[in-house]
Amino acid sequence: MNIRLFQTEELVARALADRVASAVRQRPSIVLGLPTGRTPIATYAELRRLRVEQGLSFARASTFNLDEFVGIEPTHPGSFRYFMERHLFEGIDLPPERIHFLDGMAPDLDAECERYERNIANAGGIDLQLLGIGANGHIGFNEPGEELMANTHHAALHDGTRRDNAAQFGGDPTQVPQEALSMGMGTILKAAALILVATGERKARCVERMVRGPVTTRLPASFLQMHRAVEVFLDRPAASLLSV
Ligand code: PGA
């Protein structure tokens, strides 16, 4: 893993946005995989700034988001689609038809997962997949457990993950959907290049296990060790248990 260390969260966001911007300039028809969560918010703000200040264009790019809750509309403030609109899509020139999302309201969720896998394949696969990491080592909604699913699938959420997402549901974890659709670890590992971003001391332990620990379904992020092109963007607190 190529670990890139920065002093602060702000510097992580700036460097990651520059990294994405140069990938988009180099290959305007790039297919990006995108995460939600608190961590990428600053990076998305930087990308919007690059759009305004430097004319960075996403007009030919496509995006696939990692995951979405089951049973809420894309207009619900807790949905990941709503998050992406507010933090990124509204501020860049990505054509709406090139924004790909799992539909958590689909009547047949298995068919919806299959559709997503086909759409990714039809787009030629994901060129650059950005990822966050949960404090428990989850990636997307691939939660730690006895087994992992390779393909896009229907997942039950852990209580901790529901608590982490409660803010957009009136602060009440019981209002957070119990299920979500998520790319699988295989879907993620098929991307040509991966960039994982983690900031803050809360992530130090899972980052250390991801980088140094055994590959285990108990820490889904550890599977990234098996990919040949992984960059990890960290601030000092997230890297505090690594000797880099
Ligand atoms: P966070 O979430 O950025 O809000 O910490 C990351 C994740 O759970 O994947």
List the catalytic residues: 67, 136, 138, 143
Residue 243: predicted pLDDT: 79
Residue 34: predicted pLDDT: 98
| Per-residue pLDDT tens digits for 96-142 | 999 999 999 999 999 999 999 999 999 999 999 999 999 999 999 99
Residue 244: predicted pLDDT: 67
Is the CB of 200 inside a 6 Å radius of any atom of ligand 1?
no
Is the CB of 113 inside a 6 Å radius of any atom of ligand 1?
no
Does the pTM surpass 0.95? The reply is yes
**What span, in angstroms and rounded, lies between the C-alpha atoms of 55 and 25?**
11
Gap from CA of 56 to ligand 1 centroid (Å) = 26
Gap from CA of 243 to ligand 1 centroid (Å) = 23
Is the CB of 220 inside a 6 Å radius of any atom of ligand 1?
no
Mutate to test the pocket of ligand 1, among 16, 34, 38, 162 (most ligand atoms within 8 A of CB): 38
Q: Give the CA count within 13 Å in the CB-facing half-sphere of 193.
A: 12
Residue 32: predicted pLDDT: 98
Residue 158: predicted pLDDT: 84
Is the CB of 133 inside a 6 Å radius of any atom of ligand 1?
yes
Is the CB of 230 inside a 6 Å radius of any atom of ligand 1?
no
Residue 133: predicted pLDDT: 98
pLDDT in tens, the chain (244 residues): 999 999 999 999 999 999 999 999 999 999 999 999 999 999 999 999 999 999 999 999 999 999 999 999 999 999 999 999 999 999 999 999 999 999 999 999 999 999 999 999 999 999 999 999 999 999 999 999 999 999 999 999 889 889 989 999 999 999 999 999 999 999 999 999 999 999 999 999 999 999 999 999 999 999 999 999 999 999 999 999 997 6
